[in-house]
Amino acid sequence: MLPSKQDKNRAVRRLAGALLVVATAQFLCCGQTTNLAVTPAADAFVWSLAPTDNYGAAGALSVSGSAAVNGSGQQNGLFDSLMRFPMSDTTAFLNGQFGSNGWVVTGTTLVVTEVATPNNPIFDRGVGAFEIRWIASDAWVEGTGKPNMPTTDGVAYEDLASILNPAADMSLGWFTNSGLDGPVPFPLALAGRLVSNILAGVDVDLYLTAASDSVGFTFNSKDFTGTNSWPSLVITVVAKPLAQITSIERLGTNQVVLRFNTASNWAYAVQGLAGLPAGSPGGWSNLFTVPARPIDDQAVFVDTATNRQRFYRLLLSQ
């Protein structure tokens, strides 16, 4: 069951004698996990032996090294694949459920359905290693070409030089295909730019390429007739736990005591600011931190106030 929408951020104010204390905290639901599977908006393989041809409407994608061969023992050159996953609807849904900035990406997994013995002789076979990269460019067009009827209206092998950018693209890991028919999951590294795309609702583009000569990995594309076998990018998110200053009390003439609850595996920071000058949002500094711990607990912070007006806020991170 999907979690219900939670309260949005609000400010907590309490007057402690002559000392004005303002504390802000995020009110969010506690540790609920959601998995969402996103299918590609575009995918295509490219082939070194047909560098100008497009295969964007093929029912399969492929990654092949230089030593892999087809069912007849023939070597068919190199294959790479591109995939684009739209994130706008996913991000909007999660913001609606948890609130903007109310959720954290904890995992991304590419799931594909492998075809170990493809019946089209264009595709090679063989178990081996391949790499999945997040790529910065989305300047490629899927096209309408098929293995038996290629076109020139979309991405082709010769375009890779202009699409790939070693300075910006990021590896999400090296993997090995199973060599068997059926679904195969590939847990991806949570690279910063990949996560940023998801949080911002920006398309995620992936590039799959051989990391060993032996790999001949073929799997169903989004144009395969059975939708249950389409590739998917599974996004796992967790709602940020409750970050609430539960009490603010004056202790003596110049001390303030703050109490708040902590959730396991999350780090907390109490920040302070002596004032809020107009047009100056910066200036917050850490006064007290609680590192991530494996248990739920309560934290207490005692501050020696040096200003008649002091602001506090509570932040959490994972």
pLDDT digits (tens, 9 = 90+) for 200-241: 999 999 999 999 999 999 999 999 998 899 999 999 998 887
Phi and psi for 215 in degrees, rounded to 5?
-70, 130
| Other residues' Cβ atoms within 10 Å of the Cβ of residue 272 | 21
Q: What is the pLDDT of residue 279?
A: 46
Euclidean distance between CA atoms 223 and 273, whole angstroms: 56
CATH 2.60.40 domain locations along the chain: 10-31+240-317
Q: What is the pLDDT of residue 84?
A: 98
Q: Which helix (H) or strand (E) covers residue 195, if one does?
A: helix 192-200
CATH architecture of 10-31+240-317: Sandwich (2.60)
Collect all residues with Cβ–Cβ distance below 8 Å to 60 and sequence separation of at least 6. 45, 115, 118, 120, 123, 218, 219, 220, 221, 224
Phi and psi for 229 in degrees, rounded to 5?
-105, 5
Overall pTM > 0.85:
no
According to DSSP, the residues that pair with 206 across neighbouring strands are: 83, 134
Residue spans of the chain under pLDDT 70? 1-31, 275-282, 305-308
| Other residues' Cβ atoms within 10 Å of the Cβ of residue 202 | 15
Q: What is the pLDDT of residue 14?
A: 28
Q: What is the largest CA-CA distance in the chain?
A: 87
